[in-house]
Amino acid sequence: MLLFFIGCYYTAFRQGNSSMKKIILLFGLCGVLCACGGGEEFVADRPLEEIYNDAYQEFNKKHYEEAAELFQTAESQYPSSPWAADALVMMAYSRYMGNDFAGSILAIDRYMRFHPGHRDVPYMMYLRGMNYYRQVSDVRRDPEMSAFALQSFSQLVDRFPNSEYAQNAKNKIVILKNYIAGKVMYAARNDMQNKNWTSAITRLQSIVLTAQETVMTPEALFRLTECYDAIGLLEQSSGYANMLRKNFPDNEWTKKLK
């Protein structure tokens, strides 16, 4: 091929056609580069089965970082293999077990991008939620991870309501909603201590409106009666007191009403 382009270029040179010379030179260079690049094929270091066996051995020894690296090697060296998706699943799970939550989420993202129709999609959606769920801390800290976990589990339930992971995800959703409501309640109590009644009322009303099923709702209704009493709006206070009595007649917060 190279000799062909040299011959064409020489002919154009003899004819004095400068435009043709540039075009031929450009195509000739591209052809040479493509030929050089096409001659180099990637060759895997080891057979896939061998890498897999070593990866599972490391996993069974609870050497999760080493296992994850080997599963990553299997997926990257054999991306067209039927085992490639399984390798990503095990890489994500190994990183999760090793508390490398960011690494696990990255593996899940890669899996979702390249294997969106694979059988393990529900599991990987559940594992994404668990990566965030494991990072949820106490109510005094930022609830960002709880919001991500709630979103992940909700998406799983919406897309795969009959999967084997759906019920567990629903249970986690209840826990997370209570956690988030507890975070809002914690902030509302601080607002009340500082006599920031407007902010406290806004937070408490958000619990009543968006987290009715949580254990925080009775307290939110009681605190609203206190806030409205404090600013002299007795009619609103009475309304929330009646709501508390009607919906939670036997609750401990109802018994605290005057």
State both tokens at 119.
Answer: 């059988």
Q: Pick the range with the lowest mean pLDDT from 14-18, 141-145, 253-257.
A: 14-18
* CA-to-CA dists, residue 57 to 67, 212, 224, angstroms: 8, 48, 58
Q: What predicted TM-score, i.e. pTM, was given to this entire model?
A: 0.75
Q: Pick the range with the lowest mean pLDDT from 19-23, 159-163, 201-205.
A: 19-23
Q: Dump pLDDT digits (tens) for 231-250.
A: 999 999 999 999 999 999 99
Asked if 58 and 70 touch (Cβ cutoff 8 Å), the reply is yes
pLDDT, average across residues 215-236: 96
| Helix 217-230 with 166-193: angle, nearest 10 deg | 20
Start-to-end CA distance of the chain, whole Å, equals 96
Q: Pick the range with the lowest mean pLDDT from 40-49, 59-68, 90-99, 199-208.
A: 40-49
Domains belonging to the chain, first-starting first, are 48-114 (1.25.40.10)
Average pLDDT, the chain: 85
- Strand, coil or helix: 118: coil
